[in-house]
Amino acid sequence: MTAPPPGPSAAAAANGPPANAAAANALAANGPPANAPPASTQPPPVPPVEPAGASADGRPDRRTGVDPPTHPTPVVPARAEQAGGRSPRPPASPWSFVDVFAGLGVVLIVSLLITAPLQIAQWRGGGAALLLSALPVWIGLLGTAIWACRRHGSGNLIRDLGLRLRWIDLAIGLGAGLALRFAIGIWTVVYSSITGQQPTSNLESVLENGLGTGIWLVVNALAIAVIGPVIEEIFFRGVGLRSALASLWRRSDSPRYADPRRRIWISIAATSAIFALLHVSEVKDLTSAAVLLPGLFLAGWVLARLTIWSGRLGPAIVTHVVFNGVAVVALLALTP
């Protein structure tokens, strides 16, 4: 019987290691050649990571279903599931500027529900008149802000809207608030000197006895100088500005909204205009409209710029508090 030919393993054992194995053994024994370049000790480059909701060129990627990051506050995932420690789920829907109009609608409905019965009963309210007139606005704006954060974000106003305050915000707000009051005061003097008319306000009927006395003096002063500014900033520079930026970001594939500076400019203009129109109930005539509305638009513009610059609501809130606080001090000084 003829023996079968040796297999590959037997041939390798008989002929010795292959050439490349021998070269490897020689390299291990003798080291690299003298003319070989030194081995690099640098780690391999890490490929860039694309932000959530964006494509490689920075344009919005609607396939992800996640709202893209928008300045001044980033998009955060919705509330994490409590049971089982599961990962957070994405927001139910993206931030939208429609929420601003929804909030204004809530303000109108609540105003009718609260003020209509009082007007039918012909109750003037006394010292509580100012608080009753502001209550529907507060309920509508703050309620919409809470709903929007639960609907689109984590449900945390501090995290979703940048509701944070730093010590430096006190200095920023003091300077900006006084500067706004000075600028609006100059405009009022110029307009009155040209037209010969003094602006008036519909709030005179509400504040016919000033801010009241006793406990109502404290309540009304806090309502104008503190509570109102905080709630308005949460809504306009928190929900409003953030929703406008997010809405325009999703349209950034259009050449009209491709420039981020243009998107910021449009968002600021839109929220400032709505902020001024919210106070249109204070306008009594053409003179008061010509003085009040441009001044409020300017204030809204500065407050939005501060929010985008800082990435939080602290500077805008302090500025708004100082802006209204000066009016409270002036009203107290002029009340006999």
Domain boundaries, the chain: 163-334
Q: Is the pLDDT of residue 279 over 90?
A: no
| Residue/partner pairs of 251-259 with CB below 8 Å, 24 or more apart | 252/59, 252/60, 253/59, 253/60
Q: Report residue 8: phi and psi, to 5°.
A: -60, -40
Q: Is the pLDDT of residue 253 over 80?
A: yes
- What gap in Å lies between CA 133 and CA 202, rounded to an integer? 12
Residue 240 identity: G
Q: Is the peptide bond before 72 cis (omega within 30 degrees of 0)?
A: yes
The model's confidence at residue 41, banded by pLDDT at 50, 70 and 90, is low
Lowest mean pLDDT among 173-177, 202-206, 328-332: 202-206
- What gap in Å lies between CA 278 and CA 274, rounded to an integer? 6
- What gap in Å lies between CA 94 and CA 117, rounded to an integer? 38
Assigned token pair, 311: 């990435």
- Whole-number pLDDT of residue 131: 83
Kindly write down the DSSP assignment for every residue of 235-247, as one continuous string: IIIIIIHHHHHHH
Contact status, residue 178 vs residue 322, Cβ threshold 8 Å? yes
